[in-house]
Amino acid sequence: MKKLVIGLISFVWCMNACAPATQAIPLPIISNSATPSLIPTATQTSLPTQTPTASLTPLPTIPTFTPTFDVSTMVTITPAPKAECPAPQKNVTINLSNFNDYYPELITALNQGASIKTIINTFEKKIDQHDYPDGNVLLHEKIRYEIVDATNDGIPEIILQGNSYRQRKAIILGCSEGKYITLFSRTYPLDRTYLLPVDANQNGIIEIIVGDEKGSPLGSWFDLSVIEWHMDSFQTLLSDTESSSAFQLVQIKDIDNDKTKEIYWQFREYLYSLPPWRRGTIIYKWNGEEFVPLPIKYDPAQYRFQAIQDGDRATLDGNFTDAEKAYRETIFNAKLEWWSSQRQNDTMYKINNEGFSAVGTPVAGNPDPYEYPRLAAYAYFRIMLLHIVRGNESDATTTYNTLQQKYGNDPYGSPYVEMATALWKAYQSTHKMYDGCAAAIQYAVEHSEILIPLGSDYHGAQAKIYKPEDVCPFR
């Protein structure tokens, strides 16, 4: 993966509509239908080869998701027993000798009765004196912390965020039997870790969004998880979810007015990865037990293969209306652009030489004249599938006949016609969708080259890499 030398990208992490008891941790700003015209005749370029799958892969089950949560079933977490903290003391001697791991001495001072505010002020002054003994402070280091009741026992905990280059650890301190102890500790797996308190599931106890960020002059990305205190420890409500793109912002808001709040994550170009990129949104919703992702939403497709992948993704989500719309866009939207392995290479070369200004601007290049008939034929095939699944066999027959007429004799579209024919014959003999899909998948196993134009390495880091079972996901 090539590294780019381009300017500083800004990002913003926003926390909206939080519960009154919470505060957003201040974060640094690092700086964030006409038919296409006829395609000219040209010499066919060979597609990359793929090794056919040895045997038929079992058909996947389409995932289901109920987007609404019945708030009446919400379980309120029982508060933890009230904690006992050290009694406040005046004139505590606050020492700092280890400037790269100041947490042990900070906890010692807390247990001697010093306030967290006094300790932080003292530590920041001592760090300045250590870093700039001449008194000329060039960069004052702030120790990021927040006081919040994370255990719902009425006694606030202390969240310490660390920083990006000295104290590379985030911790949560709470009281037990008259002293402060570490309830949660996270050594930075990337450049920085954020702990953000919210009450998104509205059960009366605060969740902590854990964001592990990786940042550079080329952009930022992060892993996301959510934890919540249950009785005597933090439990995971959202496992680590790695971003596939640079994040733009994260918000907490009630999108569907069901009285719980969703984690709303917008992302954009991921500058360490191969283009093309699209901005989009991922929403994580509380389902009564954990936060689960809703179907990902991208900005409108710029390239024809993106419309294909949008349709296939919507099909898996059970959204057949949007799926058919995306397939029709593939066939009839003349504004959709082409993409090829050569265009990706040329675009990366341009970015490497021209910097940030070239991001999102692919080179013109020479269009691949064979991409359209391949993708359009596949789109007709998928529309035929949707009609069959919805019980519209007459429309399915019409679509199948159209596919035959348009691409039956086309050297680039005909393999998809053959796959449709295999499915059609199998389905007509038993009227079972499983049998039809099995025949289509077997055809893709034996002719794996038809998968490459749909989604391969050269389609970018966000793109799906197609397998035979992807051509027909219905049981």
pTM metric for this prediction: 0.73
Strands 169-176 and 179-187: antiparallel
Strand order through the sheet with 207-216: 192-198, 207-216, 219-230, 233-242
Residue 369, number of CB atoms within 10 A of its CB: 17
Tokens of 285: 């919703």
Q: Which helix (H) or strand (E) holds 106?
A: helix 103-111
In tens digits, the chain (475 residues) has pLDDT values of: 333 323 322 333 333 333 333 333 333 222 223 334 333 333 343 444 443 333 444 444 433 344 454 544 555 555 566 789 999 999 999 999 999 999 999 999 999 999 999 999 999 999 999 999 999 999 998 999 999 999 999 999 999 999 878 899 999 999 999 999 999 999 998 888 889 999 999 999 999 999 888 775 555 677 889 999 998 899 999 986 766 556 657 789 898 888 899 998 887 765 556 889 888 888 999 999 999 999 889 999 999 999 999 999 999 999 999 999 999 999 999 999 999 999 999 988 887 787 666 667 788 888 999 999 999 999 999 999 999 999 999 999 999 999 999 999 999 999 999 999 999 999 999 999 999 999 999 999 999 999 999 999 999 988 999 999 999 999 7
pLDDT at 219: 56
Q: Nearest Cα to 122, choosing from 139, 153, 97?
A: 97
- Kindly report whether the peptide bond that precedes residue 276 is cis, defined as omega within 30 degrees of 0: yes
Alpha-carbon distance 270 to 176, whole Å?
Answer: 44
pLDDT at 203: 92
Which residues on adjacent β-strands are paired with residue 185? 171
Q: In a 3-state reduction of DSSP, which class is residue 197?
A: strand
- The sign one gets for the Cα dihedral 464, 465, 466, 472 is negative
Which residues on adjacent β-strands are paired with residue 192? 213
What is the C-alpha end-to-end distance of the chain, expressed in Å? 38
Tokens of 366: 């020479």
Tell me how many degrees the CA angle 188-251-68 measures, rounded to the nearest 5.
115
* Cβ atoms of residues 226 and 210 within 8 Å: yes
Q: What is the DSSP-derived secondary structure letter of residue 317? A: T
Alpha-carbon distance 216 to 191, whole Å?
Answer: 9
Alpha-carbon distance 318 to 239, whole Å?
Answer: 24
Which residues on adjacent β-strands are paired with residue 286? 291
Tokens of 211: 């964001």
* Cβ atoms of residues 352 and 4 within 8 Å: yes
* Cβ atoms of residues 382 and 312 within 8 Å: yes
Q: What is the DSSP-derived secondary structure letter of residue 113? A: T
Alpha-carbon distance 448 to 401, whole Å?
Answer: 24
* Cβ atoms of residues 150 and 23 within 8 Å: no
- Kindly report whether the peptide bond that precedes residue 415 is cis, defined as omega within 30 degrees of 0: no
Instruction: Report the greatest alpha carbon distance in the chain.
Output: 90
Tokens of 230: 């249950």
Q: In a 3-state reduction of DSSP, which class is residue 248?
A: strand
Tokens of 216: 């550079």
Q: Nearest Cα to 30, choosing from 224, 284, 159, 214?
A: 214
pLDDT at 282: 87
